[in-house]
Amino acid sequence: MGRRRNRGRLIDGVVLLDKPLGISSNDALQKVKRIYNANKAGHTGALDPLATGMLPICLGEATKFSQYLLDSDKRYTVIAKLGQRTTTSDADGEIVSERPVNVTQAQIDEALDGFRGETMQVPSMYSALKYQGQPLYKYAREGVEVPRVARPINVFELNQLRFEGDELELDIHVSKGTYIRTICDDLGEVLGCGAHVSYLRRTQVANYPYERMVTLPQLEELLRQAELQEIEPKELLDPLLLPMDTAVSDLPEVNMSEVVASYILHGQAVQVSGAPLDGIVRLTMGDEATFIGLGQIDDAGLVAPKRLINRQEG
């Protein structure tokens, strides 16, 4: 019987990657996974190759909670190039129409106001949403148009940063599932000149701090430094990791003693004084508030296990 292949080390946490231009989110994920020699990794909402910026990458047990970052608010800086509409609503697509840019600041102000707040958005054909099991972009590449259902989105903030010539730079804070390319394309049509995304940078996911982002060259340099210093790479790399429970920091916390937690860890629901009446909660144990996973308040008002970490892998 052959020996089991080493699948990487057991490391848990979140890397706040500053994704570079020109590579897919999955390529970025694989590079980080290799640098950390992690046994398991997953990202939390893809960025197009054209886009840069914050891409939280969950390692190890943190992957169990990545869905909560997928569902979180996002913030972007985007430059809309006015006067040109493209097939993909960004600079990677083919130009389908060109129109003169005769737009006033008053027209821009009025147009932007129409996108603020709760609206319905029809996703682009060049999106990863699925129709009959296939991503929409696969149909688009074959020239096939399929029906898409408008979805509710919320634009919490939409601020103009700059308007020069044919460039309109915006800061935008949106709910999950919002397509910035579609907003720019729709904005161009409202203005009557067409528009597409020429630059897109994600500056925030949930409440993660911008200044904690790291780049691939920085991570590669730490690998080299570890080799030069003849130390384990994890000594330089692991301090950059954010705790895995930062992915669910917005959920209410229920703290319990180790004795009570032992019942939860064995799959049993428990009564905890001060717990919320319903919903999903973040479970911590002991005076140090060690994160053990997520719970759900059941119909009887008890705290039931929902998604627990494997503490042997911690």
Residue 159's alpha-carbon distances to 111, 187, 208, in angstroms, are 12, 14, 21
Choose among 177, 218, 158: nearest CA to 19. 218
What distance in Å separates the CA atoms of residue 121 and residue 148, rounded to the nearest whole number?
Answer: 10
Q: Give phi and psi for 187, each to the nearest 5.
A: -60, -40
What distance in Å separates the CA atoms of residue 2 and residue 170, rounded to the nearest whole number?
Answer: 57
Judge whether 109 counts as a catalytic residue: no
DSSP secondary structure letter of residue 309: -
Dihedral (CA of 256, 261, 265, 271) sign: negative
Catalytic-labelled residue, pool 48, 90, 185, 245:
48
Q: Give phi and psi for 127, each to the nearest 5.
A: -130, 170
Q: Which residues pair with 195 in a beta bridge?
A: 82
What distance in Å separates the CA atoms of residue 131 and residue 278, rounded to the nearest whole number?
Answer: 34
Choose among 167, 263, 299, 238: nearest CA to 11. 238
Count other Cβ atoms within 10 Å, centred on residue 14.
26
Instruction: Tell me the catalytic residues.
Output: 48
